Amino acid sequence: MLLLQLLVDGLQLGAIYALMAVGFAVIFGATRVFHYAHGTSYVIVGYLFYYLAERLHLAWWAAAAAASAAGVVFGVLLDRWMYRPIQRDEGSFFTVFVASFGIAVVAENVIVILFGASFVSISTPLTRANDIGGGIVISHLGILSMLIAVGLFTFLNWFLAKTDVGVALRALSENPELVRSFGLNPRKLSQYAFAIGSLLVAPAALVATCVTGLTPTAGHRVVLISIAASIIGGIGSLRGAGLGGLILGLAESLAVWKLSTGWSEAVAFVILFAFILARPSGLFGSKARV
């Protein structure tokens, strides 16, 4: 019974991690920008959702839509007004990373000023677990998060394979010059990547705000999970990042089956180290791609 419960918990957690990681992977895969502020998009969406739904009592769907839109706008503006000028001046990969990290720190402090440093969460009966038989419990939101993850991955695979923008985004990661020669604008495509990547982290932020709660520092962990999942799955691989997130969530949960509960999060990173040592390219990463 315990093992089955831990498996169910791990799938729910893995779905949230996968959503976090895939957004990061889309941006990194297409633009090669180490978007540390991806975690900030998560925190902005979460806090805005909390503010609109819990404090202003807006309808949950309207609050979720507005918060997700804010996350997308943040990502796109950051690309346009910060990353692009740095890249235009031939700033290195590391310069862009430091700028992104700086934005994350500033945004964290702004959120503390606006909302305080306290833990916030949204009270909803949807987070309360229900017995589905045999003493196994799962919440409605837990089921929903898994369905959202599956739905979004399916949509994203279709989008990247079948639409012009999707194909162009994949090409951008391989050869930006080739994209230009076809009359496409890499800058524009970069903005699409940021919009999609930021939008993908929104469901994770919305669900996590209700299920686990949120603090202004939560973004750092989102980035950590995203990087770990991307490395496990293969840098730049969308499928890999999703699967990597799922593996991390399952590992965190299943670890406590036989090990001390204190090992839960450590086990996930033991898996990461194992991948770095044994298969540095990750599960699907023979070379970088979206």
Partner 1 sequence: MKRVMLAAAAAALLLAAPAAAQNYHIGAVLPNSGPMTSFGELFRNGADLAAEHINSDKILSKPFSINHEDSQGAPQAAVTAMNKLVRVNQEPVVLTAMSGVSKAIAPIGDREKVVAINGGGVAPDLAKLGPYFFNVIPLVNYEVRALLPYLAKEKKVKRIALVYVEDPLGEAVQREISELAPKNGMELVGSFSLPSQSRQFAPIAAKVREVNPDAVYVAYYGQTMVALIKQMRDAGMDKLLVSYSAFNDPDMMALPAAEGSVYSSQKMDWASTDPVTARFVADFKKKYGKTPSFYNANYYNAVWVTGKAMASLEKKGQPITGETIRNELLAIKTFDAVGGKMEFQPDGTVSMPLQINELTGGGTKVLN
Residues at the site binding partner 1, with contacts judged by CB under 8 A: 1-2, 5-6, 9-10, 12-13, 112, 116-119, 121, 123, 127-129, 131, 135, 137, 139, 211-213, 215, 217-218, 221, 252-253, 255-256, 260-262, 264-266
Maximal C-alpha separation, the chain: 61
Question: Which residue lies nearer to partner 1 by CB, 123 or 181?
Answer: 123
CB of 78 to partner 1, least distance (A): 24
CB of 253 to partner 1, least distance (A): 5
CB of 203 to partner 1, least distance (A): 18
Contact between 195 and 36 under an 8 Å Cβ cutoff? The reply is no
Question: Which residue lies nearer to partner 1 by CB, 85 or 135?
Answer: 135
Question: Which residue lies nearer to partner 1 by CB, 8 or 193?
Answer: 8
Question: Which residue lies nearer to partner 1 by CB, 79 or 108?
Answer: 108
Question: Which residue lies nearer to partner 1 by CB, 169 or 225?
Answer: 225
CB of 263 to partner 1, least distance (A): 9
Looking up tokens 């987070």 gives 127
CA angle centred on 236, ends 162 and 94, rounded to 5°: 135
Token pair belonging to 189: 């495509």
Characterise 235 by phi-psi region: left (phi > 0), alpha (psi -120 to 50), beta (else). Answer: beta
- Alpha helices per DSSP H over the chain: 2-31, 38-50, 60-78, 84-88, 93-115, 140-162, 164-174, 176-181, 186-211, 218-233, 238-254, 264-278
Question: Which residue lies nearer to partner 1 by CB, 19 or 218?
Answer: 218
CB of 254 to partner 1, least distance (A): 8
CB of 273 to partner 1, least distance (A): 17
Contact between 130 and 140 under an 8 Å Cβ cutoff? The reply is yes
Looking at the DSSP bridge assignments, the partners of residue 139 are 129
Token pair belonging to 76: 């796109």
